[in-house]
Amino acid sequence: MPAVSSFRSKLVRAALGASAGLLAAFTALAVAELVAGLVRPAAGPVTVVGGAVIDRTPAAVKDFAIRTFGENDKTVLQLGILALLALIAVALGVLALSHRRTGAAGVLLFGIVGAAAALSRPDSVGIGDALPSVVGALGGALVLYALASRAVPTPAAGGESETDGWSRRGFLAAAGVTAVAAASAGVLGRYLAGRQGRGAVASRATLVLPEPASPAPAVPAGVRLRVPGITAFVTPNSDFYRVDTALTVPKVDAGTWRLRIHGTGVARPRTYTLDQLLARPLIERDITLTCVSNEVGGPYVGNARWLGVPLAQLLKEAGVIPPSRGGKADQLVARSVDGMTLGSPVEDVMDGRDAMLAVGMNGEPLPFDHGFPVRMLVPGLYGYVSACKWITDIELTTFDAYDPYWVKRKWARRAPIKTQSRIDTPKPFARPAAGAVTVAGVAWAQHRGITRVQIRVDDGPWQDADLAAQAGPDMWRQWSYRWNAEPGGHNLTVRATDGAGQVQSERRTRTVPDGASGRHSVFVTVT
Ligand SMILES: Nc1nc2c(c(=O)[nH]1)N[C@H]1C(S)=C(S)[C@@H](COP(=O)(O)O)O[C@H]1N2
Ligand SMILES: [Mo]
């Protein structure tokens, strides 16, 4: 039956081509990981291409990704890149069976894309960053060429073991050897990458945080309400939200870390080591941090006890004068080791609030995810305009002269945190029993404080909630409301009033450009 056998033969051919393509891609990535492990882990092709994609993602798409995938957004992105790569690899593999050179050249093209991405990263350290992509692609091209040469039609069909008209034994042997070699290269690469971070891990493990010269003011007893389901007053480090663009978390060695302060109006530019910062009088403060990408009712807000160096003091010593007293620079641009830039108003940093370069978080050195060894914090400002992690450079400039990373991507230049409140319990679509139901949650308006929280059931009147004690204006405040729930479906809505007397806005806005406004509602069915 020639028709059937030629169909089978086509299937086998497609399978051989696809395997050759996938193996070539796997080899390319594995070899690239190995070279990256030797040169610089952050220069690996998946990291640099992923980073380039993140930087070019429009604000609306980035927000969609955060909304949909939450903190898994980076994993989803990397899986997406790998899936797309696999599809192209299959196509190149099938092509290579008939056009070996073209197929191999296709793989090399990807090496060029990877190299270009690597060199265009803001944290690129030079031409060496292109090596992982280039060497990986060479390896992949070689494998594709070799495997394609072994997957050739047998001239005389009908041999014992070659009923499909394709010689498979040679191909399978070569494919097996390639797979094992590539996997080993990949594992070795990962191991080497891990070793490169060892110095940083050791420097964190041995770092002893000094006692604060100015400890955190005592937290009043009544800040915590005893309500099941309410957000904890202090967010443990392991639960603290993480938002950044870093595909590989920077592992900075505290011993070699430096911070430079320079720019417009800096009469005495300086560079600090961590030991020099730690030798200064430190302050310890409870501060609630919020992300501008937090939807109304969303999870990107957390409260921690931070230990750090007062930033205004460092700026004064450098000769910086705030704009209100005639200073030339109105924007402070913080730069991280991975090339992120964040811009804060100099006026806010120097107006007496507890802006700091934080080294400690809830009693331990900053976790790597949260900016070890040093990050910036300015109470009252969204993270993207103040909270630079892995900070290494502070440049005084003007808002006219420079747009930092997020501002280039349509977010606002200035972004004080909006007054917000969230219902933690009951959860949406809960089915509480009729009678007394405790509605509770948190409200925040950093640096202004919360003076009132109100609840509305359906279209009823606004009712005052009970407030927990206010620990300070830079922290969120718990609240609860005893609701006499009647059977049926009900909509609960919350609104807060801040220390300036401003009632939380009713107007629903998107997170772009300066943070979501509007009120959180929860629908429940009382049974
Ligand atoms: N280097 C660096 N710092 C950064 C960011 C970043 O992407 N890179 N993201 C900022 C944003 S948008 C926020 S909301 C806070 C989040 O800090 P966290 O991850 O410690 O909660 O970090 C800020 N600092
Ligand atoms: Mo953010």
b/e sequence 15-25, b meaning 16+ C-beta within 10 Å:
bbbbbbbbbbb
Mean pLDDT of 196-225: 95
Is the pLDDT at 158 greater than 50? The verdict is no
pLDDT at 5: 67
CA dist 505 → 381, 389, 448 (Å): 18, 30, 15
pLDDT at 165: 52
Compute the distance from residue 451 Cα to the ligand 2 centre, in Å.
25
Q: Residues near 258 by Cβ (< 8 Å), separated by ≥ 6?
A: 271, 272, 273, 392
Atom of ligand 1 nearest to the CA of 291: 14
Domain boundaries, the chain: 2-202, 248-293+307-408
Compute the distance from residue 383 Cα to the ligand 2 centre, in Å.
5
| Tokens representing residue 117 in the block | 């991405």
Is the pLDDT at 449 greater than 60? The verdict is yes
Instruction: Report d(CA 93, CA 107) in Å as an integer.
Output: 10
Q: Whose CA is nearest to atom 13 of ligand 1?
A: 383
| Tokens representing residue 92 in the block | 């190149």
| 202 confidence band (pLDDT: 50, 70, 90) | very high
Superfamily of chain region 248-293+307-408: Oxidoreductase, molybdopterin-binding domain (3.90.420.10)
pLDDT at 58: 82
Residue 366 CB coordination number (10 Å): 25
Q: Could you check whether the bond before residue 323 is cis, i.e. omega within 30 degrees of 0?
A: no
| 2 confidence band (pLDDT: 50, 70, 90) | low
- The ligand with the least distance to the CA atom of 54 is 1
Atom of ligand 1 nearest to the CA of 336: 1
Mean pLDDT, rounded, of the chain: 93
> Please, where are the H alpha helices in 39-130?
45-56, 59-69, 73-98, 100-120
pLDDT at 155: 59
Segment holding 30, helix H or strand E: helix 2-38
Q: Residues near 109 by Cβ (< 8 Å), separated by ≥ 6?
A: none
Strand order, beta sheet including 521-526: 463-464, 450-457, 488-498, 521-526
Compute the distance from residue 384 Cα to the ligand 2 centre, in Å.
5
Q: Is 388 in the pocket of ligand 1 (CB under 6 A)?
A: yes
pTM for this predicted structure:
0.91
